[in-house]
Copies of this chain bind each other. A is one copy, B any other.
């Protein structure tokens, strides 16, 4: 058992006919992901790499038994398409889309919780259970099936770290990019709960960054509830306050959200903290 995503997950690509949609549909199919349908309003009847395209998510659910959405819909249309997916009965909504206004993201994640749909993202690389299924834009070849769970606010930094883990000879159970925005559907605490419950995950790598207090809450949660060993890294140790460091969520404001505070919280919770990403494999093997 991996976390949230399995071989049997039936995936619909929302926004399949766009440039990104076509490209990543191909990459996921090549990886072995079960993509059963695509959705782009007004494009019903087309095929993308052999995948049938529908006008609505409801049709994708009806005809393809889709339960998971690989969501690539542009930000201005994201709220509508996300609520459509939730209403159609999608259980796992992986929002890759960047730059969704947070007021919309708030509505999406609240509505999803009301309906019992799990949201990952927005502004995330997606989720992969190596060797089983990939719903995201990460390069599949750097992953390897194994027993390290990875939870990260970042994209390429996650690839960097996963690559280092794989090169050190370890594999991953599931890697989840939770997203770099201020409002995300699954935060560290919620992700940790899932990995803690997962029988395939034996150690966890948590990649945080400046902004917000999600890492502090994660540290607190780890101390109370998580028995699986955790290694953490927090990016942005030199970031100045008040500036948005690339991610919408990566900002130190009003004295909150510094790397220093996060690292201290992790250390206090007994979590091994890496000073640089390259130290993670070593710390993992010392657990």
Contacts and interface: CB of A to CB of B under 8 A. Distances in A.
Nearest to A112: B114
A113 interface: yes
Interface in A102-141: 110-111, 113-114
A113 B113 CA distance: 8
A113 B115 CA distance: 8
A266 to B, nearest CB: 28
Contacts of A114: 110-111, 113-114
A160 B113 CA distance: 40
A114 B111 CA distance: 7
A285 to B, nearest CB: 40
Contacts of A110: 114
Contacts of A111: 114
Contacts of A113: 114
A139 to B, nearest CB: 37
A114 B86 CA distance: 13
A111 B114 CA distance: 7
Interface in A65-124: 110-111, 113-114
A110 B114 CA distance: 7
A114 B107 CA distance: 11
A110 B111 CA distance: 9
A111 B113 CA distance: 10
Interface in A166-188: none
A156 to B, nearest CB: 34
A113 B112 CA distance: 11
Nearest to A113: B114
A108 to B, nearest CB: 12
A111 B110 CA distance: 9
4 contacts: A110-B114, A111-B114, A113-B114, A114-B114
Which 4 pairs of residues, A with B, have the shortest CB-CB distance? A114-B114, A113-B114, A110-B114, A111-B114
